[in-house]
Structure 1
């Protein structure tokens, strides 16, 4: 095993754990909703999904200031402890007992939280993140020393301190193959010592009603006191995923599927069947949102863009997904929609217009070269003489037309979405640029807006994001799709309720 990942956290059994579980079961039998604490909560994708499934979100812990404020705005805006909820917190120095006191929960901390959810920062585990670290430190194994890769230990520390009945951990598939180490198995081993049964698998959000193909690892653990089997949700929608997604899954599962490796807690994902409804497409998600063309009419300027300007919808809801996005349970029903802001990219609008669905950066450069040739011919015709490639005029036209990125290094940097397919994975990099998601509508010739990114991630229109455009894009890209979270939350709730029924039956028979 790699030195940096040697037995990470000592988590011996908790004295009286069963007693705390029994207290929680008694509280639930009295009709109270399951209480959930969201670690590394971001703006609240998991929280929103669990809230929709009937859980009470008691708090989130998040280091990013705008994301922490977003979480508070959407889940605790009327709470007398709102200012505490809106605080950004570093989980490495945040004591669980002190947190509960600050948000107004009194009593033994181990009796307050039923379910712990969250996804430790995934950047360290992704192959993209590893490549950046290698480049920065010129060290093939630099990613193994990334402190973010150790934050899952803080998650386990909270489990030990708060004695939940169940937990959910989410992360990128590469967590299963982190330099040849399966972090999920280490987590499960530690949870076993606390009396948990654990399983993990890979699920794709497009199979759960989200208009986005997003592959993630989900780990569910149920304490043995609950006495019920772990379930992963059955898919609700069908799509045959592109080859690239199968390839990424195989890389993540390389050591799990090897005969030399024992992955005792891995379970194969439930597979969708063609009999299910088809996955929602980008058009299914976005076609009722405002048409944005001001950038093509020279009415748009550079600079920070606020998210609070409302615009009317372009049409009535066209399907069940759009209706849900406007009428999410627990959030305000909206008649206009905000966050319709996009990036100012005047050089690239003509390229976006001419790109074909599915085109990526190499095709974009081909389009740009055609445009450059057309501009040069037009200028030469007006001048009546050729333009030298050494001239300032040529350099000016080149800069105004051709994107500067190296095709060999960034072949996937740009991508125009297909109208009839779910979008590809949204990432936190949206906070820096949006070229990975160019709108499928050539008449709009732009990258997606904040609200469109939210829709593709299944955040409803009544969900508010703190901060300006870049911060909102980052929060959305970092989030777990709420609709996918709802499916998992319902599976966990079913497991817990099954355990409670067994508990009640045992008590009636004694």
Structure 2
């Protein structure tokens, strides 16, 4: 009797993971993913593998799964050994491009195919949940700034209107509740006709107004759109809650997520369900040291010379450290303490004797892993490794990340716009250390391209974050394995909704279903 979930624009499955983890007092699942749709083939591999994992009870995960993440068997062999569970996973996770995809897109799916699939998996149930986050690149403030695009154009950028796929499913299939996530930039995005967010709120409140019902369709009664972090300021003449737009923003660091991730999350409750959801309960900020501080140490790789621990250590020794200021002293002290016992660059699976974490071990750790997955460092240029030592030492001493104007002249990058960065403060923080005593800055997909914004706080490691460290900051459990090459793994992690935040949202949503009499399980 678990509540079915349909997850569109699913990415690697962060939102669905949080909902899938919620159980009642008897250990039964409150929600179960019936269908997830993702267009990126590599994220889809991750999504399918996690679906396979969830086909088993927590105490029944086969040893073959751990053999896979350790690299001892491949995924084809895993699925061959467990054909029934693999078949369920492949039926649940669908690689498909929604909307109006390019004709050459091999994964393009039509609206009719989507509708047929939804009807098949729901089997006539109306007590179900729609979740997902339509692609956000069109709305991103950074993206708009980079494109020098103040006014969005739906005719030239199809991503602007992709929320309409979400809207169409609401109009056509009328779920009891929906949860939609997007970037904060959606609040300020606008076309030549209107502000995007105002239009989205209006459309989501009355999906049938945009997609009129055809003969035989169920009439969608519409939705009340709630914030998950604030009570309504008032209700309008139609009984719909009214908020200032900023009240829909969830600041993740206030809810136990170790990063300053600010996202718009909308909770829609069908108009025939007259229940106001509970808001999330604020928590103390979690510093990243609590989640990454006890992972195995890694050194950066060397991209322009023969790579070894000795060569890496010698490279650091080449750095001329001038002055007796606290940062210089910290750098010198770090170099003195570099031990003769080498430590490596990590790998897709790194065996460890002990697994420790200072925050929510029951959520993160899996003793059967006997190690860490997706934990390998990137290689960096010699000059950048020197800069990483300076930046991480600066952060350790000053408790904030340096600007370009703080750099010694010898460590300034040889970029044409460095002077502009110093004088005008434009991109002055292009090298950013994550401070161990604070929540991380937002983990975004940009981490796949540039490690400079995600420098590890430990000066003795001189590197950017690993995929597993980014995943821990995003609150993925340690046994969540990301498929594909490392660039794709970073991209998947950065685009995801933090599962632990989704878990908290699931608690509020589950209570709506319970109060509405749609949840035939024990109380949450």
- The TM-score normalised by the length of structure 1 is 0.69
Shift of 1:197: 1.3
**Residue deviations 1:340-385, cap 9 Å, x none?**
1222103211111122113245157x24x3358xxxxxxxxxxxxx
**Residue deviations 1:20-44, cap 9 Å, x none?**
xxxxxxxxxxxx1111111111001
Task: Answer yes or no: is 1:105 the counterpart of 2:120.
Answer: yes
State the match for 1:282 in structure 2.
288
CA distance in 2, matches of 1:50, 1:152: 21
Shift of 1:418: 0.8
Using a 3 Å threshold, how does the CA distance of structure 1 residues 501 and 71 change in structure 2: closer, same or farther? closer
State the match for 1:317 in structure 2.
356
Decide which of 106, 109, 112 is 1:94's aligned counterpart: 109
The root-mean-square deviation of aligned C-alpha atoms, in Å, is 3.0
Shift of 1:158: 1.1
CA distance in 1, matches of 2:176, 2:458: 47
Decide which of 28, 47, 51 is 1:75's aligned counterpart: 51
Structure 1 unmatched ranges of 5 or more = 1-31, 238-277, 373-400, 505-510
Give the 3-state SS of the residue equivalent to 1:130 in structure 2.
helix
CA distance in 2, matches of 1:483, 1:363: 38
State the match for 2:401 in structure 1.
359
Using a 3 Å threshold, how does the CA distance of structure 1 residues 118 and 469 change in structure 2: closer, same or farther? same
Give the 3-state SS of the residue equivalent to 2:120 in structure 1.
coil
1:211-222 to structure 2, matched below 5 A, reads: 211-222=258-269
Task: Answer yes or no: is 1:35 the counterpart of 2:71.
Answer: no
CA distance in 1, matches of 2:508, 2:146: 37
Shift of 1:178: 1.1
Decide which of 218, 223, 232 is 1:196's aligned counterpart: 223
333-342 or 88-97, which deviates more: 88-97
Using a 3 Å threshold, how does the CA distance of structure 1 residues 338 and 404 change in structure 2: closer, same or farther? farther
Decide which of 34, 47, 51 is 1:58's aligned counterpart: 34
Shift of 1:323: 4.4
Quick check: 1:96–1:162 contact (8 Å CA) kept in 2? no
Using a 3 Å threshold, how does the CA distance of structure 1 residues 323 and 119 change in structure 2: closer, same or farther? same
Quick check: 1:199–1:219 contact (8 Å CA) kept in 2? yes
Using a 3 Å threshold, how does the CA distance of structure 1 residues 196 and 102 change in structure 2: closer, same or farther? closer
Decide which of 447, 454, 457 is 2:464's aligned counterpart: 447
Shift of 1:287: 1.3
Give the 3-state SS of the residue equivalent to 2:269 in structure 1.
strand
- The TM-score normalised by the length of structure 2 is 0.68
Give the 3-state SS of the residue equivalent to 1:36 in structure 2.
strand
Shift of 1:298: 2.9
CA distance in 2, matches of 1:233, 1:197: 18
**Residue deviations 1:80-122, cap 9 Å, x none?**
14345555211115346634766993575x6367000111111
CA distance in 2, matches of 1:182, 1:502: 37
Using a 3 Å threshold, how does the CA distance of structure 1 residues 299 and 100 change in structure 2: closer, same or farther? farther
Quick check: 1:438–1:446 contact (8 Å CA) kept in 2? yes
Shift of 1:319: 2.2
Task: Answer yes or no: is 1:412 the counterpart of 2:459.
Answer: no
Using a 3 Å threshold, how does the CA distance of structure 1 residues 112 and 101 change in structure 2: closer, same or farther? farther
Quick check: 1:359–1:416 contact (8 Å CA) kept in 2? yes
Task: Answer yes or no: is 1:124 the counterpart of 2:138.
Answer: yes
Quick check: 2:18–2:502 contact (8 Å CA) kept in 1? yes
1:138-149 to structure 2, matched below 5 A, reads: 140-142=150-152, 145-149=156-160
Quick check: 1:295–1:344 contact (8 Å CA) kept in 2? yes
Task: Answer yes or no: is 1:349 the counterpart of 2:358.
Answer: no
Quick check: 2:225–2:267 contact (8 Å CA) kept in 1? yes
Shift of 1:481: 0.7
409-418 or 283-292, which deviates more: 409-418
Structure 2 unmatched ranges of 5 or more = 23-29, 54-84, 100-107, 207-220, 228-247, 312-344
Using a 3 Å threshold, how does the CA distance of structure 1 residues 487 and 34 change in structure 2: closer, same or farther? same
**Residue deviations 1:305-345, cap 9 Å, x none?**
996332326x5524233442114xxxx84221111122210
Moved over 6 A (4+): 501-504
**Residue deviations 1:402-434, cap 9 Å, x none?**
467643542233201111000011111111112
Using a 3 Å threshold, how does the CA distance of structure 1 residues 50 and 371 change in structure 2: closer, same or farther? same
Give the 3-state SS of the residue equivalent to 1:310 in structure 2.
strand
Aligned residue pairs, count: 389
